[in-house]
A and B are shown apart, each in its own frame.
Chain A
Amino acid sequence: MNFTIILHAGIATGTVLLFAAIGEIFTERSGILNLGVEGMMLLGAMAGFSTSLTTGSPWLGVLVGMLAGGALSLAHGVVTIHFQADQVVSGLSLTFLGTGLALVLGEGLTGQNPPLLLDYNIPILGSIPVIGPAIFQDHGILVYVGYLMAPMAWYYINKTRPGMHLRAVGQKPSAADSVGVNVYGIRYLYTFVGGCLAGLAGAIISLSVSPGWYSTQTTSGQGWIAVALVIFAQWNPMRAALGGYLFGMLRRLILDLQGPRILLGFTNPLYINSNYSFFLIMTPYLLTIIALIFGSRAVAKKRAGSPSALGLPYVRGERGK
């Protein structure tokens, strides 16, 4: 078990969670709850993989994966923003829809080998001992983009004018509407952004981080973990990134725990009986619940918590938000 390797793997898989979570942060900050992230991710993974297979260009795959997630999210947008349907159920239906579409259209993709995204090294920085190789070597470009994603998202949301409008729409849409801010438009926009980023996260999985198509196992619930991460991060992109990387490291750690014969001076139970690894597989999901407990308690205490209008449809002229 090598810290550098764990950090490296953590960053790689954490990037997936990072993109999906930041996308969902944008969406939720505008007041829309999108629970279809898992479906959009899976669809993005399949679309990216398949596009790369047919066109030979993994980058085209990334683009298509993004747009697939975005298109699905627009369906959610229409139903929740214009039809004012219940956002929870709509999101769930989109999970089914996205998953179903991915399974049906992805039939026959298992075992294929399309061109994948390449890994690159960043010179000089890559030579820093221990953490250098983990952070700056052997990563796809999108992972490096991920490093910039969180601070840029944070800055955009908190320090720019469009970011202020975004926050206003999520906190008190009536106030924004009364001064001419396009509430519906902003909600559509950020729902689309969220969907695109979820689709992108999926494409990153199938074309870079854990290449391949394994039906629902491709994402195995990471979309939901991303949604939980948003709450845990209290809608702050920087915290979401941190949480994503930590989670990724944890998953790698769990994998590594199964290898060695001796663990912390004791005989590794997993070495003896590989079935114990089922308990290890449980761990990320268990940890998500624990993280959620802490996140929810913090939200209940602090003033700055969830966007006040989250999950509530906005109708001009009606009492309420």
Chain B
Amino acid sequence: MNSLAHAVEMKDIVIRFPGVLANDHVSLTLRKGEIHALLGENGAGKSTLMNALAGLYKPVSGTTKVNGELVNFNSPRDAIAKGIGMVHQHFMLVPTHTVTENILLGMDEPRFFMNLKKFNKKILELEEQYGLSVDPEAKIWQLPVGAQQRVEILKTLYRGAEILIMDEPTAVLAPQEIDDLMATMRSMADQGKSIIFITHKLHEVIAVADRVTVLRKGKVTAQGEKIHGMTKRNLAQLMVGRDVVFNVVKEDREAGEVVLDIKDIHAENNKGLQALRGISLEVRSGEILGIAGVGGNGQSELAEVITGLRECEGQIEINGEEISNKPPIKAINQGVSHIPEDRTTVGSAPSLSITENAIMKGYCQEPIGNGWSINFTRAGEHAQDLKEKYNILAPNVRTPAGKLSGGNLQKLILAREISCTPNLIVAMQPTRGLDVGAIEAIRSLLLEQRQSGTAILLISEELDELLSLSDRIAVISDGKIMGTVIAEDADINEIGLMMTGSSGERE
């Protein structure tokens, strides 16, 4: 092995999927012991490139060298053998197994009989070395997200990874946990590990990386640039290609009557644990109430109790009408629209056409629904209207919804939910995974709705989004509202503290 060689050298990588060129002659070099950021918007091709390095995809063309040696990975096993370890954004952990079992998965030892005690010890020693602490005998589903991530990192270290790829590692962490993670990364780099971390967050790049490579729409716009001396503006421009406006223009508006009134809600999550512990909220017409918080603190459950998908104790009223613990149709009839977190699993039916998806809420009513039958001609016209008005790109309204890109599908869902003139919109991560154009469109649509008097509950993990769109922001942590602030005057540190569980007062 050539000690002067780079840890990783990828040259002219091309990766293609049906209908899209994910990586277009991309090159990247990772030096030993450095932290290298791979920056780009959602869909730029960062994960794809790193998945190829980790052995999950095979490039159509291009070369990859690890420690100076030409490699050709056919499976994750090959990559692991060369010292590459990937910490995925969506954890690859088996929920019902323990930490140790997950770390041992796929390893050659133990051979046949499981002697977990011995391995529990080994793992504790590894934890000491890198300052990552987690109970080896705990089952994954019992652990908080930050701990689960530490298990993912331990997995790679246990396998002797010298090169670590971290895919959006901060997406699920609170600000304080992010600081811890960055300290860990620095410590690992100082001990000789080479780290690539994928992100779309500019401040993280500046905070921890040594060098950065920027991808835009599958192509490299900056390769291996030193961070020192760069500004967020520079990076943003490289990422998007134009001057990015960081703030959306939001008009002043007086909030009206209370539309959504939540009093002291308690609810369990799917595992039977308390997810909501006494939440009380109000959202008025013409106002956007943002819910800030790290993922997994009760946001999904909150959206579900409002839309009738989950049972709860307490009271939820829409314009004075009780909707808690009633089937979803009750909330729908009271004018509640829901933009779900997961557009494919919950929000749409992939094999059905755009038209059929568009009428999911309105098929019972005139002019589309007519007694026992559905007037598909009118439905088609309605869908065509929506398609044009919201600029949904698709061959025609008969195209199956599953063929739409993420942004267009989200626009369709939004169009559907908005077109029935709701009183309240519950929007859960509405811009997640979308490209900048789609994000701007969705945000303007929400502001338009606000202008016309709709009450909006915006649940998002993107603090920037909440700050620019919301009138007020409530911070949720561990199922409780830690405090509510006015967006204009909000102090990001205060919000960060609340997200990690301290109440609104400075300590």
Contact A175 B96, CB 8 Å, known A180-B75, A180-B76, A317-B57: no
* CB of A176 closer than 8 Å to a CB of B: yes
Asked if B217 CB lies within 8 Å of chain A CBs, one says no
Q: Is A297 an interface residue (CB 8 A)?
A: no
Which listed residue (A161, A179, A308, A316) contacts B114, Cβ 8 A? Answer: A161
**In the complex where A159-B113, A316-B56, A317-B57 touch, is A179 in contact with B105 (Cβ < 8 A)?**
yes
Q: Which of A162, A177, A304 interacts with B76 by CB under 8 Å? A: A177
Query: In the assembly, what is the distance between CA of A303 and CA of B140, in Å?
Result: 13
- From B94, B106, B112, give the contact of A172 (CB < 8 A): B94
With A178-B56, A178-B88, A180-B76 already in contact, the answer to whether A164 and B96 are too (CB < 8 A) is no
Q: Contact between A179 and B76 (Cβ–Cβ < 8 Å)?
A: yes
Is the pair B94, A168 in contact by a Cβ cutoff of 8 Å?
yes
Given A176-B105, A180-B75, A180-B80, A161–B92 Cβ distance below 8 Å? no
CB distance from B85 to the nearest CB of A (A): 10
**In the complex, what residues of B have CB within 8 A of residue A167's CB?**
94, 96-97
Flag whether A239 is at the interface (Cβ < 8 A): no
- In the bound assembly, the distance between CA atoms of A164 and B102 in angstroms comes to 9
Q: A180-B76, A181-B105, A317-B57 are in contact. Are A172 and B92 (CB under 8 A)?
A: yes
Q: Which of B57, B88, B94 has the most chain A CB atoms closer than 10 A to its own CB? A: B94
Task: Find out whether the CB atom of B271 lies under 8 angstroms from the CB atom of A303.
Answer: yes
Give, as a whole number of angstroms, the nearest-CB distance from B404 to chain A.
15
* Main SS class of interface, A: helix
Question: What B residues does A164 contact at CB under 8 A?
Answer: 97, 101, 104-105, 114
Most interface-central of A159, A174, A179, A303 (chain B CB within 10 A): A179
Kindly report which residue of chain A lies nearest to residue B93, judged by CB atoms. A175
Among B84-110, those with CB < 8 Å from A are 86, 88, 91-97, 101-102, 104-107, 110
A160 lies within 8 A of B112 (CB): yes
Closest CB-CB distance, B308 to chain A, in whole Å? 20
**In the complex, chain A residues 147-189 whose Cβ is within 8 Å of any chain B Cβ:** 159-162, 164-165, 167-168, 171-172, 174-181
- B96 lies within 8 A of A304 (CB): yes
The reply to whether B97 and A317 contact each other, CB–CB distance below 8 Å, is no
Within A164-219, the residues touching B (CB, 8 Å) are: 164-165, 167-168, 171-172, 174-181
**Could you tell me the distance in whole angstroms from the C-beta of A319 to the nearest C-beta in chain B?**
8
Q: Please, which residues of chain B bring their CB within 8 A of the CB of A165?
A: 105-106
A180 engages B106 (CB within 8 Å) = yes
Most-contacted residue by chain B among A178, A180, A304, A317 (CB, 10 A): A178
Residues of A within 8 A of B75 (CB): 180
Chain B residues, CB < 8 A from A171: 94-97
The answer for the CA separation of A176 and B97 in the assembled complex, in Å, is 12
Instruction: Tell me if A172 and B51 are in contact (CB < 8 A).
Output: no
Which residues of B are found within 8 Å of A172, using beta-carbon distances?
A: 92-95
CA distance A295 to B54 in the complex (A): 42
A319 vs B92: C-alpha distance in the bound complex, in angstroms? 12
With CB as the reference atom, state the residue of chain B lying closest to A177: B76
The yes or no answer to B193 lying at the interface (CB within 8 A) is no
A-B contact pairs, 16 of them (CB 8 A): A162-B112, A164-B97, A164-B105, A164-B114, A167-B97, A172-B92, A172-B93, A172-B95, A175-B94, A176-B105, A178-B86, A178-B88, A179-B105, A179-B155, A179-B159, A303-B272
Binding site for A on B (CB under 8 A): 51, 54, 56-57, 75-77, 80, 86, 88, 91-97, 101-102, 104-107, 110-114, 141, 155, 159, 271-272, 344
Q: Which residues of A contact B (CB under 8 A)?
A: 159-162, 164-165, 167-168, 171-172, 174-181, 303-304, 308, 316-317, 319
- In the complex, besides A161-B114, A167-B94, A177-B76, 12 extra interface pairs with C-beta distance below 8 angstroms are A160-B113, A164-B104, A165-B105, A167-B97, A168-B105, A176-B105, A178-B56, A178-B76, A178-B88, A179-B92, A304-B96, A317-B51
